[in-house]
């Protein structure tokens, strides 16, 4: 997944589909690790309304459609996702690969995408209250989205919303982990991107160590969010989305927030202090 905040509307097609390490290039980069379970490109229009183009089919089979969507996403904020679906509940493939399960998700002036797996989806969904009725699919990432919306409505701050979502997940895990004797924790990866028309907020949390390497970035750990600040633009990506220099690594349990005001981008990082295990 890749998300970009720019000081002025611009095309982000180069990072999404225009170079040998772009998000689209990652779709079929490594045999056995194809990102074949859906794709999406989303942005905000001039009045802040979200525009989302997505498909439950493999991006490698719809490269022209993906590239066209990337080229059309001329905006201050662009969010894109490739899906390699986890299936901890063993759902039939036909139920798993549906448009409503494809990312990014959009509602209430927000865009959201997630990499990883939330094993305790049903337990977290049971705590969504009024937001549970807005869950349309069977994707754990969609449950995460509405959990984050719940926390955002409660706390007001997107950084705090991501932190408190994580806190709730690990708190619930203490009470339900006996149901999952084969799991070491409540999740395998909670890398989350939350976007509004003038901001990006990113949580990097990938607790498994030495699991895999990145798809197209030699020496880069899979699950380690990459970021780069340029003149008039900040980029976050699941791994470096081109071969240019300047990519830096987010650390585990780090939250980044990029905001746009008066044509200028502010960028801050904070570390979640609680120990999660």
In this predicted model, what pLDDT tens digit does every residue of 213-257 receive, in sequence order? 999 999 899 999 999 999 999 999 999 999 999 999 999 999 999
Q: What is the pLDDT of residue 86?
A: 82
Q: What is the pLDDT of residue 277?
A: 61
CA 271 to chain centre: 19
Residues linked to residue 52 through DSSP beta bridges, in sequence order? 42
pLDDT exceeds 80 at position 274: no
Architecture of domain 2-271 in this structure: 4-Layer Sandwich (3.60)
From the CA atom positions of the chain, what is the Rg in Å? Answer: 17
pLDDT exceeds 90 at position 211: no
pLDDT exceeds 70 at position 209: no
Choose between 201 and 212: higher pLDDT: 201
Average pLDDT over residues 252-265: 96
C-alpha to C-alpha distance for 204 and 111, rounded to whole angstroms: 17
Mention every residue, 6+ apart, whose C-beta is less than 8 A from residue 247.
217, 226, 227, 228, 240
pLDDT in tens, 69-108: 999 999 999 999 999 998 777 788 888 899 999 999 999 9
pLDDT in tens, 32-70: 999 999 999 999 988 889 999 999 999 999 999 999 999
Stated length of the chain: 277
C-alpha to C-alpha distance for 19 and 120, rounded to whole angstroms: 37
CA 21 to chain centre: 18
Q: What percent of the chain has a predicted confidence (pLDDT) above 70?
A: 98
Segment among 41-45, 182-186, 212-216, 271-275 with least mean pLDDT? 271-275
Q: What is the pLDDT of residue 48?
A: 85
Residues linked to residue 135 through DSSP beta bridges, in sequence order? none
Averaged pLDDT score across all residues of the chain: 95
pTM strictly above 0.75: yes
């Amino acid at each position: 997944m890749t998300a970009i905040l720019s000081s002025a509307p611009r095309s982000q097609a180069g990072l999404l589909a225009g170079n040998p390490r772009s998000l689209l290039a990652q779709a079929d980069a490594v045999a056995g690790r194809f990102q074949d379970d859906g794709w999406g490109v989303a942005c905000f229009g001039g009045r802040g309304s979200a525009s989302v183009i997505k498909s439950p089919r493999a991006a490698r089979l719809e490269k022209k459609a993906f590239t066209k969507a990337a080229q059309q996403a001329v905006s201050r904020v662009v969010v894109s996702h490739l899906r390699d679906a986890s299936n901890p509940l063993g759902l039939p493939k036909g139920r798993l690969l549906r448009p409503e399960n494809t990312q990014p998700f959009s509602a209430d002036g927000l865009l959201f995408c997630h990499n990883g797996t939330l094993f305790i989806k049903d337990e977290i969904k049971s705590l969504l209250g009024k937001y549970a009725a807005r869950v349309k699919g069977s994707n754990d990432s969609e449950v995460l989205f509405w959990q984050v919306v719940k926390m955002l409505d409660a706390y007001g701050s997107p950084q705090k919303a991501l932190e408190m979502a994580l806190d709730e997940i690990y708190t619930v895990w203490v009470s339900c982990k006996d149901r999952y004797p084969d799991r070491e924790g409540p999740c395998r990866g909670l890398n989350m991107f939350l976007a509004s028309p003038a901001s990006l907020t990113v949580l990097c949390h990938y607790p498994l160590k030495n699991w895999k390497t990145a798809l197209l970035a030699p020496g880069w750990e899979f699950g380690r969010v990459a970021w780069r600040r340029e003149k008039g633009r900040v980029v976050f990506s699941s791994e470096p989305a081109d071969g240019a220099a300047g990519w830096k690594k987010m650390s585990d349990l780090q939250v980044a927030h990029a905001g746009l005001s008066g044509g200028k981008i502010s960028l801050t990082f904070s570390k979640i202090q609680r120990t999660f295990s």
